[in-house]
Amino acid sequence: MAAEDNSLNRRGFGGIGLRRAVARLAQTALSLAVTFLGLLFVTFFIGRIIPIDPVLATLGDRATQEQYEAARQALGLDRPLLEQFAIYVGDVLRGDFGMSLLTARPVIEDIANVFPATLELATLATLIGVLIGVPAGVTAAVNQGRWPDQAIRFVGLLGYSMPVFWLGLIALLVFYGNLGWVSGPGRLDVAYELDFEFDVTHVTGSILIDSALSGAWDVFFNALGHIILPAGVLGYFSLAYIARMTRSFMLEQLSQEYVTTARVKGVPERRVIWVHALGNALVPLITVIALSYAYLLEGSVLTETVFAWPGLGLYITNALFAADMNAVLGGTVVVGIVFIGLNILSDLLYTLVDPRAR
Residue 13: pLDDT band with limits 50, 70, 90:
very low
DSSP state of 62: T
Q: Give pairs for 313-317: CB < 8 Å, separation 24+.
A: 313/118, 314/114, 315/110, 315/111, 315/114
For 110-357, give the CATH class.
mainly alpha
Stretch among 11-20, 217-226, 235-244, 341-350 having the lowest mean pLDDT: 11-20
In the chain, alpha helices (H): 2-49, 54-59, 65-74, 81-93, 107-142, 147-161, 164-171, 190-199, 207-214, 217-254, 257-264, 269-271, 278-299, 301-306, 312-321, 325-353
pLDDT 10s digits, 298-312: 667 778 888 888 888
**3-state class (DSSP) for residue 182:** coil
Rounded distance, CA 20 to CA 24, Å? Answer: 6
pLDDT 10s digits, 29-66: 777 778 888 888 888 887 777 766 676 666 666 777 77
Does residue 25 surpass a pLDDT of 80? no
Rounded distance, CA 2 to CA 28, Å? Answer: 39
Closest to 240 in 3D by CA, of 132, 107, 118, 90: 132
Average pLDDT over residues 313-331: 83
Interior angle at CA 280, CA 278 and CA 286, nearest 5: 85
Does residue 15 surpass a pLDDT of 90? no
Give pLDDT, residue 51.
Answer: 66
Q: Which residues pair with 106 in a beta bridge?
A: 99
pLDDT 10s digits, 203-241: 888 888 888 888 888 889 988 999 999 999 999 988 999
**Mean pLDDT value across the chain:** 82
More confident of the two residues 79 and 208 = 208
List the chain domain ranges. 2-93, 110-357
Give pLDDT, residue 299.
Answer: 60
Instruction: List Cα–Cα distances, 120 to 124, 228, 231, 321, 334, in angstroms.
Output: 6, 11, 9, 25, 16
Does residue 286 surpass a pLDDT of 60? yes
Instruction: Report the predicted TM-score, pTM, of the whole model to 2 decimal places.
Output: 0.81
Torsion from C-alpha of 220, 230, 303, 207, nearest 10 degrees: 10
Rounded distance, CA 116 to CA 164, Å? Answer: 21
